[in-house]
Structure 1
Amino acid sequence: MTIQQMTYFEAVGRYQNITRAADELHIAQPTLSLAMQTLEQETGLNLLRHVGRGIVLTADGQALYAEVARMLKEVARFDSHVAELARRHQDLRLALPMQVGTVLMPLLLGQFRKAHPEIRLDIIEASGTASLDLVEHEEADVAVVHDGLPRLALTARHLPPWPFCLCVRRDHPLAARTQVSFDEAAAQPLVLLDDSYTITRRLHDIAAKAGRTLDVLHYTPHLSTIWNLVTRGIACGIITGSAVLPESALTAIPIDGLVQHPAVFTKTGRQMTQDQRTLIAFLKEAFPAAPTA
């Protein structure tokens, strides 16, 4: 007997009325009658006896009904246990590169934590490539990365693009501009993230195609170093717009035509928990609202 057959028979046996059982099961009466006939044929038992316009269970029907009712209780208990396992909250591991984390970290530890105190969020700061590696090796559940290269092992859910920006002091001659060209940005003395970051590799590719050489004074793995050197007027930076906070002494000027394409990455083929779905929904809603200047 299938679970569906047991469910149908239990309702018929409990009501001893095809019409009422069919109503509860939300199926047509002829469909339920045919299901009972099929069940009798498959079991080789006479389970129901017609009395007038009603039906009653035969002795075999009563014996089978008792077994079916017990079995369905066990199925319900099993389903409840599986549902409870799915609801259990474990540490949700999120990998973020620094540029993304600059704006998302306050949102995650502020708004998200307040809205979902039941979700234990473990944030891992790593470069974009390392963040993707963590998800692929199942050492992180989710990553948010700019310009992550496609991987068969990962599924990407794309977010709105963010601009490459020239990061300057607020008293810099270009600070009042709403946009600069790549040539204008490339003409500045620069401090950049090191080449483990996608944005730096892309900048050198763009410069090479344009026949330019970037005047890079220093490469660093730390945003704080970029902010420090730019604040002191020693160099300008080229970073994602999200990496400059509005309240800082710096401003981020979008570079014409240059954008990064962020995405939320998860492991392909792995079932997502409800906590992961909640986090991804939050990221999709929060990301477009993140400040870019």
Structure 2
Amino acid sequence: MNIQQMQYFAEVCRHENVTKAAASLHMSQSTLSLSMKNLETETGLNLFRHVGRNIQLTADGQALFQEVEKMLKQVKRFEASVKEIAKRHNRLQLAVPSQIATIILPLLLGEFFQQHPEIQLEITEPAGGAALDMVEREEVDLAFVHDAEGRPNLTLRKLSSWPICLCVPRSHPLADKPSVTLAEAAAYPLVLLSRKFILTKRVLAEFDRQKLQPQILHYSPNLSSIWNIVQQGIALSILTGNGILQDSNLIAIPIEGLAQKGFIVTKKGRQIYADERCLIDFVRRKFADAPEHMNRTP
């Protein structure tokens, strides 16, 4: 006796009339009558006696009805529990490092929230390497990062590519150049993101590879601190192209031969729930539909 049969049987018992029960269930009387006959055959019980156009429950029918009602109440509690569990997946935990946050957060907190106010977002802004660690430990549902190769436990969904740039004030002598070399960048005092950041590790490795000795004044975990130092002309910085606000007083000059990819990162083998899939599809669609906005270099 399956759940559907229980529901049909309970409705007939409540109405004591197959026609009314069929109307309540939005099905034909003949189909419901056949279902009740099949139920009697399967259970081997005589469940009903006919009294005119109505029916009455036999003693066996009454006993079965009591058990079925108990079972259906349990089913309702089970369904309510499942819905409560599902609600927890309306809260997504995200890791979004500061550079890519400049382009991702306006999307998430603006248009995505307006379209899906039922989905709660809990966002942290760690360094890129730390964000990947959080995904691997399942402390967050997903992360948006620059470059994530060498992590076999993670699934990467590419968003786009951006040049790695020398960040200078608009008044700087290099501001009008279409590109610079890393050697030209190394000729100026620099302030970089903390060593934990994927970008900084990449840049320092490239300095070593090219046997360059840059003057690095400071490593900061805060992008806003770096912007302020550069705006005041104290030092230049090296950032991903999308790590500079469009309306700032800064210029991002691509460094020849250096670029970073952007990815959405999830734990490999971990189930992707509906709300998580909704967010992933939204962001990927925005990057695909508006590359001139998402991928431009300030």
- Compared CA separation, residues 81 and 248, structure 1 to 2 (3 A): same
CA contact (8 A) 1:188 1:215 kept: no
Query: What is the SS of the residue equivalent to 2:215?
Result: strand
Deviation at 1:251, TM superposition (A): 0.9
CA contact (8 A) 1:189 1:235 kept: no
CA contact (8 A) 1:186 1:215 kept: no
The residue identity in structure 1 corresponding to 2:249 is: A
CA contact (8 A) 2:22 2:29 kept: no
Pair 1:186-2:187 in alignment: no
Query: What is the SS of the residue equivalent to 1:67?
Result: helix
CA contact (8 A) 2:130 2:196 kept: no
RMSD: 4.4
Give deviations 1:48-86, integer Å, cap 9, x for gaps: 56789x784551334323432342133223312432343
Take 1:128 and 1:23, find their aligned partners in 2: how far apart are those partners?
57
Aligned to 1:220: 219
Aligned to 2:22: 21
Query: What is the SS of the residue equivalent to 1:176?
Result: coil
- Compared CA separation, residues 118 and 58, structure 1 to 2 (3 A): closer
Structure 1: segments with no counterpart, 5+ residues: none
Aligned to 2:131: 131
Deviation at 1:39, TM superposition (A): 3.2
Deviation at 1:46, TM superposition (A): 2.8
The residue identity in structure 1 corresponding to 2:219 is: T
The residue identity in structure 2 corresponding to 1:167 is: C
Answer with 217-226 or 159-168: which moved more. Answer: 217-226
Aligned to 1:84: 84
Answer with 137-146 or 88-97: which moved more. Answer: 88-97
Deviation at 1:93, TM superposition (A): 3.8
Structure 2: segments with no counterpart, 5+ residues: none
Number of residue pairs matched by the alignment: 284
Take 1:292 and 1:127, find their aligned partners in 2: how far apart are those partners?
21
Take 2:48 and 2:156, find their aligned partners in 1: how far apart are those partners?
55
- Compared CA separation, residues 38 and 119, structure 1 to 2 (3 A): closer
- Compared CA separation, residues 84 and 261, structure 1 to 2 (3 A): same
Normalising by structure 1, report the TM-score: 0.70
CA contact (8 A) 2:170 2:251 kept: yes
Aligned to 1:260: 260
The residue identity in structure 1 corresponding to 2:44 is: G
In the TM superposition, what are the counterparts of 1:28-107 in structure 2 within 5 Å? 35-48=35-48, 56=55, 58-59=57-58, 60-87=60-87, 93-105=93-105
Answer with 103-112 or 251-260: which moved more. Answer: 103-112
